[in-house]
Amino acid sequence: MSLEEMMKAGTATAFEHYDNGELWYRTHYGFDYPEPITYRGDAAYQRQESLLQQFR
């Protein structure tokens, strides 16, 4: 399943770990991806959230 398809399906993500300035998340389908903490500024980080919400 592609990242776009996962976003359309409303796939949830879960925080896995922090490494070298990046938060690593895993989707329900086992897809791991980093999100640099600089992308969110001082926003709150949730343990689980929507994949679509992260890419806004």
Domain count, the chain: 1
* pLDDT of res. 55: 64
- Residue type present at position 9: A
Kindly report, residue by residue over 8-54, the tens digit of the pLDDT. 888 888 989 999 989 899 988 898 989 888 877 777 777 777 776 66
Give the global pTM: 0.71
Of 19, 23, 42, 45, which is closest to residue 34 (Cα–Cα)? 23
Within 10 Å of residue 29's Cβ, how many Cβ atoms?
A: 12
Say if CB 26 and CB 16 are below 8 A apart.
yes
Residues 19, 26: Cα–Cα separation, whole Å: 14
Whole-angstrom Cα distance, residue 8 to residue 41? 25
Domain of 20 in residue numbering reads as 3-54
